[in-house]
Structure formats: C-alpha cells, structure tokens
Structure 1
Amino acid sequence: MALPRLAVLVLPGGTDFSYQPFSPLQPSAMRMYPFTASIQARFGPLVRVHQAGYRVRGWNGGQASPMPYARNALEQVKKRYPDTPIALIGHSMGGRIVANLGDDDAVTDILALAPWWQFADWRKIHDGARVLAIHGENDNLTRPRRTEKGIEELQARGLDARFISVPHGGHAMLDHIGLWQGEALGFIGRALND
C-alpha cells in the first residue's frame, strides 16, 4: 500500500482533573468522529486519519496525564508513515495536547479547535508549523481571547498562523457545524497542496 501524502492525528478533549478511564464513547471523543470521517471521506487515499485515546479523561495538573499516550500515538503515526507530513487536530484539551506535540518537526500543520491553552502552550510549537485556531466567541469553558493572543504571538514569531472567531459559537462545536467542519476540511486541503 502506498504511503499517504498526509497523516492526520486527531486528539479529543477531556477535562481538567479526572482519573476516570478514557472511553472512545465519551462525548469528547465522539465529538471528533465527524471530523475524522469527513476528512477520510473527502481526501480518500491521500490521507490516513487516526484518532488517539488516553488512559484517563483528565489533564491532572503537572501530571499532564494524556501526554505520554498522545506522544506515543504520534510516534506510532511517524513509524507507520515514515517521512510523511503530519497534521494534528485537537479540540479543547486536545488543543492543548496538539500545541505540546507541536515541538516535533514531523508535525507540519496544527488545527486547534476551541483549545484549552494554558501557560502559553502555543510557545512549544516549532517555527516550521502552520497553525489554525478556531474558537467560538461565546465559549465559557476555554478562553477565545487567550487563543487569539497565542496566534498573535505565533504570527510575531513568523509562523503561518491564523485565528478564526465563530460568531456566537460555544465550546462543543454543535453550532455553526458547517463552519467548523468546512474550516477543518479546508485546513487539510491546504496541507495537502503545500
């Protein structure tokens, strides 16, 4: 089987503190399946899309509980598709995870959906990555202004970084579905064309 032109790793969200087991049926994981399915359906054999899971649902402070599992998922994608550019897509806590994984040079593109960026997580993203952050202006769980600030900092560093505000949008991406989905598909299309 030929290697794809782009590998996509999808990182679902979670919660601040929780040691409950992660489940692929929890809402934060299920929220990402339409992205995974629509990307694979639209781009077919040009991409391979994988969705990660973690041991527990929470970030859990300095433990950063999902990071070893997310880092392992990234390493598995790199091993499976050697020398293939990798795009990361993360929602909420998954948006924090993709920023932290953005230090890996194999990562060429990062899509952060309503990211839970804390302590300037975006500063870990390497200079060669392209970044798109989308955030609902009425999100009351994560902070759209912090996301916008992160993108402004990345732009000041010279990265190809964009911020899209979703008018009246909330955190769960259940509003303006066409915008969220359309921008994700456009993001992958641009990654394939570069």
Structure 2
Amino acid sequence: MERREIGPGVGRVRPTLILPDRRATEPRGVVLMLHGGDVEGVEARSTFDPSPLPVRVAAAGIARRRPDLAVVRLLNAVGGWNDRVMSPVADARWALMRIGQLYPDLPVAVVGHSMGGRTAFELVDEPDVRAVIGLAPWLADGYDEKRFLGTPVMVMHGRLDNVTDPDASADLVRRIRIDGGSATYRSVPDWHTLMFRPAGWHREVASFLHHYLVGDGGDQPRNA
C-alpha cells in the first residue's frame, strides 16, 4: 500500500509525497515523478485535477518493470507554475530533500510530464540528480543546452501533441548533443497525455532509468 507524506505549507496548500510500500524490494535507486499543471493558479490543487493521471500511469508502469527502483510521486501544493514564483519547483526541491532523508545515499532521477517536465529541467543541476526525463515538456525551447551538459537527459514527445511543442523538445536535445552532452529524443505516435498504448515507452524509460541509476551509467545510444 502506498504511503503519503504531507509537506510544508498553509492549510490545504501543501505538497504531498506518495511513497511506495515499505514491503517492496529494497531499492537501488529512486525516481521522483512530477505531474503537469496550469500556467497560473495559486489555489490548492483540486482533488479532481486530472493533471497527475499520466504520471500515475507512468509511475505504475516503471515500478512494475523495475522493482529495484523506488518510484515516488509528488502532488504539487497548487495547480499553477506562476511565472517567477515557479511554485512546483519549490515543492520538488522539498521532495528531493525528503528523498535524501528517506533513501540516503541512493541515486535519484527526476521524471516530469508537461509542466512537470519543465520542473524537472529546473532540477537538472541539483547535486543528487543523476538523470532527467521530460515527457512532453512545456517550454523546452526556453532552456540553454549548457545547463544539461553534466546530466543525462531523455525527452519523450507525442507527434500529435498540440499542447506543448515536440519540435522544441527535439531541438533542445539536438543542441545538448551538439554541445557534447548526453541526450536522447524519442518521438511517439501519441497526444499530450502520452497514454495511448504507453507500454512501449514505459519500457524504454524504465531501461533508461535503470541504466543511469543502477547500471554502469555509461552513454546509451542517442537518437534524434
């Protein structure tokens, strides 16, 4: 059974960590999963908000394929990014701090969908983060490739996505690779939610995570 831990905040405006069952296999690495959201929104995230669903499905797929990884989901305190405040980034940094306390000395990767992909990109230079995956990330073209040079990156995007830009994702990966970084781009026949026949990309993401968290950490083949 999953465990929940409520983070700091005021009233209902608090992030929540959803942790795997203590009875699960002793993990060798940790994956922090970050969900999407809206451009603006400072109210407490609604219980009926559909944004966490794609990440919930992906987390289950990864955990099933890689039982040696502890897959942790974060529910943001509020629904929006909120411009310079970058609300979900503060929540994610709290989550990384708690992961360091709960799973000391284990390597960590961050996987984010949509707005969560942008949040993951903001965490790429955190000292405990070994790898980052952006799933249909928002505003990928807003990032300088140089910030990714020390961390392996995978970006997955649906070719039919009309919410975030697959071309921007492909271009970010191209720029990282030109500058000498380790980056992989995968284009899949899907929309923004990436929930159409997801088993194939779940398997690939799980393999990428295992490689950099448990394996030798060397470069995987990189396709644009």
TM-score (norm 1): 0.89
Question: What are the superposed Cα offsets for residues 78-103 of structure 1, whole Å, 9 maximum, x if unpaired?
Answer: 22222221111100000000000111
Kindly indicate whether residue 51 of structure 2 is the aligned counterpart of residue 28 of structure 1.
yes
Shift in alpha-carbon separation, 1:55–1:77, aligned structure 2, 3 A: same
- Aligned with residue 112 of structure 2, among 62, 83, 90: 90
Instruction: Give the structure 2 partner of residue 148 of structure 1.
Output: 170
3-state SS, counterpart of residue 52 of structure 1: strand
Instruction: Give the structure 2 partner of residue 15 of structure 1.
Output: 38
State the shift of 1:123 in Å.
Answer: 4.0
Shift in alpha-carbon separation, 1:49–1:58, aligned structure 2, 3 A: same
- Aligned with residue 79 of structure 1, among 96, 101, 124: 101
Instruction: Give the structure 2 partner of residue 131 of structure 1.
Output: 153
Amino acid at match of 2:205: A
State the shift of 1:52 in Å.
Answer: 0.8
Instruction: Give the structure 2 partner of residue 49 of structure 1.
Output: 71
Instruction: Give the structure 1 partner of residue 193 of structure 2.
Output: 172
Question: What are the superposed Cα offsets for residues 6-36 of structure 1, whole Å, 9 maximum, x if unpaired?
Answer: 1110001111112232246521112211222
State the shift of 1:185 in Å.
Answer: 2.0
Amino acid at match of 1:11: L
Deviates more, 1:119-128 or 1:17-26: 119-128
**Higher fraction of helix:** 1
Matched-pair contact (CA < 8 Å) for 2:141–2:168: no
State the shift of 1:156 in Å.
Answer: 2.1
TM-score (norm 2): 0.78
Matched-pair contact (CA < 8 Å) for 1:105–1:128: no
Structure number with bigger Rg: 2
Identical-residue share of aligned pairs (%): 32
The count of residues paired between Structure 1 and Structure 2 equals: 192
Matched-pair contact (CA < 8 Å) for 2:61–2:199: no
Matched-pair contact (CA < 8 Å) for 1:137–1:165: yes
3-state SS, counterpart of residue 62 of structure 2: helix
In 1, Cα distance between the equivalents of 2:156 and 2:141?
19
In 2, Cα distance between the equivalents of 1:100 and 1:79?
21
Instruction: Give the structure 1 partner of residue 205 of structure 2.
Output: 184
Structure 2 residues not aligned, in runs of 5+? 1-21, 217-224
In 2, Cα distance between the equivalents of 1:69 and 1:124?
25
- Aligned with residue 88 of structure 2, among 50, 63, 66: 66
Amino acid at match of 2:28: R
State the shift of 1:126 in Å.
Answer: 4.3
Tell me the C-alpha RMSD between the 2 structures. 2.1
Structure 1 residues not aligned, in runs of 5+? none
Matched-pair contact (CA < 8 Å) for 1:109–1:129: yes
